[in-house]
């Protein structure tokens, strides 16, 4: 099969293929970009596979960076852009279900395509816009089917991350997982325990952010693979409730939003440790925990000035979107109105600083001072105290006198 027209991303990269060919080697566009071009989706990275070995690739191009030379990948810097060129390779022996113990460079495209995960990811495209399709990836693309290349059980046994990638592609492509592939996912799911959490997180995160996230989650639940993910063991009902809680067509806006709701539904003993088990960054943990708190506080009551001040409008909006998608009362205008009514959005905006209060009233650091500062802050937020020097000083004076 031939593409009617080579998309511009490939056109732009054609001189790279030509240079490799002129040097006497084969070169093709491969992987996700070919798949996405055929699906009419936006193309991100144009990856190139070549029969040239890394050293040979480096001798063809004046400017290169060794980004993963042990895997055969060289980054080529040319006028039109940066391209990863990876030597055709096989990954023959797998010892830890995680990474190939040995990468062998080969001179055959076919061998390279064979080691790829799914048939729709195992397509290659040459400079004449001709598609090389050794595993009926085109047919699977047409049928919106995700199918492992070759023997599914072997493929997942070699690298269990492919199971998570499969759920992720089901979500991002909105494809159905072919029956034998799905069976093999179920069967090999325990091997996920050998895969680094960081890599699993990346896949689950991409899954959740995909438009077709429901399809991906359904596959994750249906396969039982969640049993081998951190803090999800035995939580099928929780995951189903999470899925069922949101209206069809809803898509998460941010990772934090998705993970906050997922966490609320999973009901881990501690939010912090859940997020730690998932090896997420401190920043991510902080935001997700706040979002989960907002969700729970909103279950208990309306948006208040305190809530708005403490968490900020942006985070409240994210959880209000969730409420809306769950058919709960949601009021974005109310958040806006409260936010606008706040005299301060941060304690640094209080016109009298703590140091000045201490000096003026001969206060010393300690619980009393802390309590007092907090009272000033709350009174300003509630609008019962003006954020003016005289008002604040009078407020403190009175508090001290009543002490």
- 35 annotated to a ligand binding site: yes
Residue 161 binding result from Mg ion, ligand ATP, none, given CB thresholds of 5 to 8 Å by partner type: ligand ATP
47 labelled binding-site residue: yes
Binding partner selected for residue 73 from ligand ATP, Mg ion, none, CB under the kind-specific 5 to 8 Å limit: none
Binding site for ligand ATP (CB under 6 A): 31-32, 44, 47, 116-117, 121-122, 159, 161-162, 165
Beta carbon nearer to Mg ion, 32 or 137: 32
Return residues touching Mg ion (CB under 5 A): 32, 45
Residue 32 annotated as binding?
yes
- State yes or no: 310 annotated in a binding site: no
166 contact choice in Mg ion, ligand ATP, none (CB below 5 to 8 Å, kind-dependent): none
Q: Which is nearer to Mg ion, 28 or 309 (CB)?
A: 28
Rounded CA gap, 294 and 300, in Å?
10
Pick what 26 binds: ligand ATP, Mg ion, none; C-beta below 5 to 8 Å, kind-dependent. none
Minimum distance from residue 279 beta carbon to ligand ATP (Å)? 19
Check the annotation: does 331 bind a ligand. no
165 annotated to bind ligand: yes
> Residue 100's binding partner, choosing from ligand ATP, Mg ion, none, with beta-carbon cut-off 5 to 8 A by kind?
none
As annotated, the binding site for ATP includes 32, 35, 116, 159, 162, 165, 168
As annotated, the binding site for CTP includes 32, 35, 116, 159, 162, 165, 168
As annotated, the binding site includes 32, 35, 45, 47, 116, 159, 162, 165, 168
């Amino acid at each position: 099969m031939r593409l009617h027209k080579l998309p511009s991303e490939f056109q732009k990269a054609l001189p790279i293929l030509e240079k490799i060919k002129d040097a006497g080697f084969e070169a093709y566009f491969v992987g996700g970009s070919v798949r996405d071009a055929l699906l009419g989706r936006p193309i991100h990275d144009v990856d190139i596979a070549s029969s040239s070995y890394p050293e040979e690739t480096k001798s063809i191009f004046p400017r290169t960076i060794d980004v993963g030379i042990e895997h055969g990948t060289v980054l080529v810097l040319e006028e039109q852009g940066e391209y990863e060129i990876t030597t055709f390779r096989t990954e023959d022996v797998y010892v830890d279900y995680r990474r190939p113990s040995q990468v062998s460079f080969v001179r055959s495209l076919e061998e390279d395509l064979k080691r790829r995960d799914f048939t729709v990811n195992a397509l290659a495209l040459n400079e004449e816009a001709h598609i090389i399709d050794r595993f009926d990836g085109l047919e699977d693309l047409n049928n919106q089917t995700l199918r492992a290349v070759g023997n599914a059980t072997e493929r997942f046994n070699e690298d269990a991350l492919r199971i998570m990638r499969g759920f992720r592609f089901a979500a991002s492509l909105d494809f159905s997982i072919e029956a034998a592939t799905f069976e093999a996912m179920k069967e090999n799911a325990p091997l996920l325990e050998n895969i680094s959490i960081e890599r699993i997180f990346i896949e689950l995160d991409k899954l959740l952010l995909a438009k077709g996230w429901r399809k991906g989650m359904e596959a994750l639940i249906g396969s039982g693979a969640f049993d081998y993910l951190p803090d999800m063991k035995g939580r099928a009902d929780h995951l189903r409730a999470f899925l069922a809680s949101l209206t069809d067509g809803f898509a998460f806006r941010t990772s934090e939003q998705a993970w906050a709701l997922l966490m609320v539904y999973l009901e881990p003993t501690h939010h912090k440790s859940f997020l730690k088990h998932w090896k997420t960054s401190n920043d991510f943990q902080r935001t997700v925990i706040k979002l989960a708190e907002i969700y729970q506080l909103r279950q208990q009551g309306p948006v208040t000035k305190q809530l708005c001040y403490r968490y900020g409008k942006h985070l409240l909006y994210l959880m209000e979107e969730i409420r809306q998608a769950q058919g709960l009362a949601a009021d974005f205008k109310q958040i806006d109105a409260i936010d606008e009514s706040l005299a301060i959005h941060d304690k640094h905006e209080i016109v009298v600083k703590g140091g000045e209060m201490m000096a003026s009233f001969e206060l010393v650091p300690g619980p009393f001072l802390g309590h007092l500062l907090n009272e000033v802050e709350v009174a300003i937020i509630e609008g019962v105290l003006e954020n003016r020097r005289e008002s604040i000083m009078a407020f403190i004076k009175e508090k001290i006198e009543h002490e």
